[in-house]
Amino acid sequence: MSEKIGLEKLSIATDRGYIRIDGNCRTNVPTVFAIGDVVPTPWLAHVASAEGAVAVETMAGVETYPLNYDQIPGCTYCHPEIGSIGLTEAKARERGHEVVVGKFPFSAIGKARVLNDTEGFVKIVSDKKYGEVLGVHVIGPSATELIAEAGAAMKLEATAQDLVRTVHAHPTLAEAIHEASEAAANGHAIHI
C-alpha cells in the first residue's frame, strides 16, 4: 500500500496503510492527490482511471464530480460471467430501503438459446417507494458487457419503470434486463 514512500515527511494522513482522500482525491495536504491502490477504494483499474480524471480535473480547476462508489461495476471473467453494480438486496435493506426485486432467467431469452448459453439470470434491486434502481446483478452470457446499461441507468437515477419503457432490441441478451425490470416495476415479466 503506502508504507515507506515518504508520506510522513509531508504529514500525509493515512488510515491502516491507505492514504486518506476527499471526494476529489485530494489528501490532507492540498497540493497532493492520491488515486488507485494506495487509497481505500476498490482495487480496480477502472476505478483508478476514474479517480485520476477527478484528481486532474480538480487540479485544473475544472468542474468535476466525486465518484459514487456504490455505482462502480464489478466484473468476474469466468463462465458464466458475473457483472454487478450497486447494492445487493441485503445491503439495500440494511440501508433502510423497502426493496422490490425483479429477476429473469437467460433460459427464456432467444439470443441466449441461439448462443447455446442459457445459464444465469438478471436481478434488479429497486426502491419500492420511488422505483429507483439500487443495484443490478447479472450472471450469464456477456454479463460483463450488459452491466454497462445498468451503470448508465443508475447514474441517471433511472427507475425500473424507466428501464421497462426503454425499448430493447430483439433478439438480444439485453432483453433480460428489460424483463427483470418488468418484474421489479410491475410484479411480473411478460415473456415467461
Which domains are assigned to the chain? 7-67 (no CATH), 71-186 (3.30.390.30)
Catalytic status, residue 191: no
Distance of alpha carbon 24 from its chain centroid, rounded? Answer: 19
pLDDT in tens, 56-72: 999 999 999 999 999 99
Region for residue 11 given its phi and psi (left: phi exceeds 0; alpha: psi -120 to 50; beta: otherwise): left
**Polymer length in residues for the chain:** 192
Q: pTM of the full predicted structure?
A: 0.91
Q: What are the two backbone dihedrals, phi and then psi, of residue 179, each rounded to the nearest 5 degrees?
A: -70, -40
Report the run of H or E that residue 75 belongs to, with start and end.
strand 74-76
- Catalytic choice (170, 178, 188, 191): 170
pLDDT tens track for 70-94: 999 999 999 999 999 999 999 999 9
